[in-house]
Amino acid sequence: MTAGATYFASRALLPNGWARDVRLAVSPAGDLVECRPGAAAQGAERLRGAVLPGMPNLHSHAFQRAMAGLTERAGPGDDSFWTWRELMYRFVVRLEPEDLEAVAAQLYVEMLKAGYTSVAEFHYVHHDRDGSPYGDPATMSERIVAAAAGAGIGLTLLPVLYQANGFGGVPPAAGQRRYVMPTDAFLALFEELRRRFAGRPEIAVGVAPHSLRAVGEGSLAAVAEASRVVAAPIHIHVAEQVREVEECLAWSNRRPVEWLLDHQAVDRRWCLVHATHLSPEETARLAGSGALAGLCPTTEANLGDGIFPLPAYLAAGGAWGIGSDSHVSVSPIEELRWLEYGQRLTTGRRGVAAPRLGSTGERLWRAALAGGATALGRPVGALEPGHRADLVVLDEEVPALAGRSDDRLLDALVFAGNANPVRDVMVGGKWVVRDGRHSREETVFARYRAALERLMAED
């Protein structure tokens, strides 16, 4: 019996901090109905280590997992974000629906084993290889849903609107034909996905206007309004690259985040992915808006994007979460470590994420839980009644965690060692990882390997 069960944790991270002897009761639907510290273990299944809420991953392009490590060779000229994007376009040309599902399923299994229990999928490959819509326009979205359901990870599906190849409506390039969609077709897809997956507690649907480069003012307004009336999450890439800021200034005389805040009622439903290049005014305004900064430190490092102004953003009360984006790393530990280390390297200070007294690791973990849950628009990220029973049990026998209690445990988790201490993982009341193994990992990996062979074959 995995649903409708009661568990006992000798210690667990509750909303108010670490608690001892915690009874966690889960409804048959997979929701937490009781999280009581100081309780007896009688009649409950004992969890085999310290328990954390599972981490939401707020930004993923699943198919890019199949490209991780392939873009590290120097090309002609400067090897930059823009040459990486060219390779990504060549790769995506071949992707069939079964390939997308195979790659996404492999990725989601890896996420679960690393402690992510839900993901926001920023999904933009909608059409067939020649750019024509599939008979069912939701064909590729269905593959993402199937991959998530098969792996057992919670999903916020964010169909992406992509219409232009630069500010001011530059026509899309041939390599972008699988993404491009008229606004009315996009809004119909959004409604259809909401209808199809209503009543599935592991799935939410939001929208993702790709970026200010790719979506014009009128389309952005239409999509924002469609999401507002149903209170759905809205995610957008913004200010990732210096060149993007320069092009936005040339087009509008505004910086990208400044333009967005001037033209849209940005609030906590919004997740601004990257937002790396901010002026001090933008930093303060973004923090004050309640929107999330969607930080993807390992991808941002891999692509050479730059460093997010975290100290000023935190000082202004800004909220943030983490995403693994291009999946050069699939580990919440590594995202949080890189976030803090990037700040230390540029500021010459330690504990940047925890400017006041206390544990840096715990502050990082808790902020990413809260921000990620908001960005995903699902009741996750907390061991609290009414939230999904998404939890991670840590193996306290790994050397890096031995003898570390409470917030020192999270400092050790984030900053000490390379072992993955995730032992067991539950999503929506169901065990998906036990003793570090996912129940379907062999099947999923065999399909992934076959898909890679197709994708990597010489022409």
Q: Which of residues 403-432 bind Zn ion (CB under 5 A)?
A: none
| CB nearer to Zn ion: pick between 143 and 235 | 235
d(Cα 69, Cα 17) in Å, to the nearest integer?
38
Q: What is the largest CA-CA distance in the chain?
A: 67
| CB nearer to Zn ion: pick between 8 and 124 | 124
The amino acid at 425: V
| CB nearer to Zn ion: pick between 325 and 441 | 325
SS3 164: coil
| CB nearer to Zn ion: pick between 60 and 289 | 60
Which residue is catalytic, options 274, 327, 387, 438?
274
Stretch that binds Zn ion, among 6-14, 134-142, 318-326, 439-447 (CB under 5 A): 318-326
Smallest distance from Zn ion to CB 162, Å? 12
Smallest distance from Zn ion to CB 456, Å? 23
Residue pair 388/427 in contact (Cβ under 8 Å)? The answer is: yes
Mask of contacts with Zn ion, 269-308, x by CB under 5 A? Answer: ----------------------------------------
| CB nearer to Zn ion: pick between 325 and 390 | 325
Q: For residue 311, which phi and psi values (nearest 5 degrees)?
A: -60, -45
Residue pair 429/408 in contact (Cβ under 8 Å)? The answer is: no
Q: Are β-strands 51-53 and 391-394 bridged in parallel, bridged antiparallel, or unpaired?
A: antiparallel
| Cross-strand partners of 277 | none
What is the distance of C-alpha 175 from the center of its chain?
25
Residue facing Zn ion at closest CB distance: 325
What is the distance of C-alpha 163 from the center of its chain?
23
Name the token pair of 316. 């202004």
Q: Which of residues 322-341 bind Zn ion (CB under 5 A)?
A: 325
Smallest distance from Zn ion to CB 293, Å? 13
Listing DSSP states for 339-408 in one string gives HHHHHHHHHS-S-TT--SSS-HHHHHHHHHHHHHHHHHTSS-SS-STTSB--EEEE-TTSGGGTT--THH
Residue pair 25/385 in contact (Cβ under 8 Å)? The answer is: no
Name the token pair of 88. 């990504």
Q: Which of residues 133-162 bind Zn ion (CB under 5 A)?
A: none
Q: For residue 347, which phi and psi values (nearest 5 degrees)?
A: -100, -20
The one-character DSSP state at 325 is B
| Cross-strand partners of 57 | 119
Smallest distance from Zn ion to CB 379, Å? 25
| CB nearer to Zn ion: pick between 165 and 420 | 165
Stretch that binds Zn ion, among 70-78, 190-198, 283-291, 317-325 (CB under 5 A): 317-325
* Catalytic residue status for 424: no
Mask of contacts with Zn ion, 17-56, x by CB under 5 A? Answer: ----------------------------------------
d(Cα 58, Cα 372) in Å, to the nearest integer?
6
* Catalytic residue status for 274: yes
| CB nearer to Zn ion: pick between 210 and 388 | 210
Smallest distance from Zn ion to CB 359, Å? 30
Smallest distance from Zn ion to CB 459, Å? 28
Stretch that binds Zn ion, among 47-55, 214-222, 320-328, 386-394 (CB under 5 A): 320-328
| CB nearer to Zn ion: pick between 122 and 259 | 122
End-to-end CA distance of the chain: 50
Smallest distance from Zn ion to CB 236, Å? 10
Name the token pair of 383. 């061991």
d(Cα 261, Cα 162) in Å, to the nearest integer?
20
d(Cα 310, Cα 322) in Å, to the nearest integer?
13
Stretch that binds Zn ion, among 31-39, 187-195, 319-327, 376-384 (CB under 5 A): 319-327
Distance set, CA 423 to CA 112, 259, 429 (Å): 11, 45, 16
Smallest distance from Zn ion to CB 323, Å? 8
Count of residues interacting with Zn ion (CB under 5 A):
1
d(Cα 182, Cα 171) in Å, to the nearest integer?
13
Which residue is catalytic, options 31, 305, 325, 424?
325
**Which residues form the catalytic set?**
274, 325
Residues that bind Zn ion (CB under 5 A): 325
